Amino acid sequence: MKAYDTVIGLEVHAQLLTRTKIFCGCSTRSGLPPNTNTCPVCTGMPGVLPVLNRKVVDFGIMLGLATGCRIAPRCIFARKNYFYPDLPKGYQITQYEHPLCEGGTIRIETGQGVKRIGITRIHMEEDAGKTIHDEKAPYSYVDYNRAGVPLLEIVSEPEITSTDEAVAYLRELRQILMYLGICDGNMEEGSLRCDANVSVKPAGSSRYGTRTELKNMNSFRNVQKALEYEIERHIGIRESGHEVVQETLLWDPSRGVTVSMRSKEESHDYRYFPEPDLVPVEIGEAWIDGLRSGLPELPFARRKRFSGQYGLPAYDAGVLTQTKALADYYEEGVRLLDRPKEISNWIMTEVMRILNEKGIPITGLNVSPAMLTGLIALIGGGSISGSMAKDVFAEMAATGDSAESIVERRGIGQISDETELLSLAREIIDAHPDEARRYRSGKAGLLGFFVGKLMKATRGEANPKLASKIMKELLEG
């Protein structure tokens, strides 16, 4: 029996793939020289007015629909006031009392089946700039290129009860964002950022413990490790008779510890008030319906359909639907050749190996679904062996040539010529008289030994069925 229950709630920031910023026409591109991608609006000059980018509302509604949220009829922004050099206006434009979306769910797979985690709210806001600290200089720099880049903040209910569930929730949310094409999901580069609130309470108790908030975890692995560390820290504090202090901590990945950053501020510290520079936007049914009809099939549904329609194990369905492009690739393959499990096996092994080696997405692969199914058809037709096919596949990926042309160029059809195999088989039996005697006196398992020798002598090019038949006949005849 565990002595404590864990309670986790996640606040995720997703940077949106709009072309321009949320309230001005500056580009959202990253990697430009500092402060070259700014204008009077996103640097907070006096006398300028923000204009809302409609695409940001579109993307927010799309995520709200994908997670079953209610969409607000009017969208209203608020000012969150605080002072920090990366915030040129002295306030962030965000949403407070009237978030764009509320009351949704994300379904995750757990050891005990599907679990629904509540989404409290999804709101739109602008990103801040970046401060850059140079240890050699007695001052810091600030780069406003990122100021005004649109974000969605997705807040979960405190319904996550383990670190595994937290990672599963985050993976699922990331996959939904990427299927929708509204965020690139890159955690290392900060386009998907996760803050985690965590507390522990005596097992079975209905009263929540004091929570701390963790920041700076830029990978799934770090989210997992930071939460595990923090849960142990909370339990340690309670066991020693002390109380957890509500505060914000930074995860230090190099030391593997959480470090106190600041005491937790309350929302009244921010003096939120409605943003007077932006008019409320009415979101009519037509706007919502238009976006709903354009939604793609979402990861959860697609996984379920893959298992059902193609008879795939849940594991295969999960791997094949990791990205929309990979799932599309698979389905195009199955449409061309009705061998769902074989195509799945090829994608999960050889195709994924090449993608990982080259660090490319499926869209960057030289081998089209038609070319892959062409190769699988050659194996089925008996013209090349399975092991040979792997070499052919590697060459296809390297050159972009079809399986047929590679097989022809390399002259690697299977040896199905009986006389050639017969003479090789005789030589092998003559070279292993002991094994041949033992086989004939009843050690039937040695057939594999002889067939293996024959396959090796032909460098794998013998037709395996024929090789086995010939060996058996010679040994027994």
Kind plus residue range of the DSSP H or E element containing 94: strand 91-94
H helices of 19-106, in order, are: 54-66
Could you tell me which of 70, 77, 118, 111 has the C-alpha nearest to residue 97?
A: 77
Give every CB contact of residue 135 below 8 A, 6+ residues apart in sequence.
none
| 108 scored as a contact of Zn ion (CB under 5 A) | no
| Spatial separation of the C-alpha atoms in residues 31 and 260, rounded to whole Å | 30
The residue number whose beta carbon is nearest to ligand ADP equals: 9
The correct pick among 158, 296, 318, 464 for binding ligand ADP (CB under 6 A) is 158
| 9 scored as a contact of ligand ADP (CB under 6 A) | yes
Inter-helix orientation angle 369-380/324-336, to 10°:
40
Nearer to Zn ion, 50 or 99 (CB): 50
| 99 scored as a contact of ligand ADP (CB under 6 A) | no
- Other Cβ atoms less than 10 A from the Cβ of 466: the count is 17
Interactions with Zn ion, residue window 23-62 (CB under 5 A) = 24, 26, 39, 41-42
Nearer to Zn ion, 26 or 173 (CB): 26
Q: Which stretch binds ligand ADP (CB under 6 A): 15-23, 34-42, 149-157, 356-364?
A: 149-157
Residue 7 contact, options ligand ADP, Zn ion, none, Cβ 5-8 Å cut-off depending on partner type = ligand ADP
- Other Cβ atoms less than 10 A from the Cβ of 432: the count is 16
Q: Which stretch binds ligand ADP (CB under 6 A): 93-101, 153-161, 181-189, 463-471?
A: 153-161
The correct pick among 86, 102, 109, 157 for binding ligand ADP (CB under 6 A) is 157
As separate numbers, helices (DSSP H) first and strands (DSSP E) second, the chain gives 16, 16
> Where are the extended beta strands (E) located within 239-296?
247-252, 257-263, 273-274, 281-282
H helices of 240-284, in order, are: none
Q: Which stretch binds ligand ADP (CB under 6 A): 182-190, 193-201, 301-309, 420-428?
A: 193-201
Q: Which stretch binds Zn ion (CB under 5 A): 20-28, 66-74, 75-83, 223-231?
A: 20-28
The correct pick among 199, 344, 385, 402 for binding ligand ADP (CB under 6 A) is 199
What is the bridge-based pairing of β-strands 273-274 and 78-81? antiparallel
Nearer to ligand ADP, 153 or 316 (CB): 153
Burial class from Cβ neighbours inside 10 Å (0-12, 13-18, 19+) for residue 260 reads exposed
The correct pick among 112, 206, 267, 293 for binding ligand ADP (CB under 6 A) is 267
| 129 scored as a contact of ligand ADP (CB under 6 A) | no
Which residues make up the interface to ligand ADP (CB under 6 A)? 7-11, 155-158, 197-199, 208, 211, 267
Which residues make up the interface to Zn ion (CB under 5 A)? 24, 26, 39, 41-42
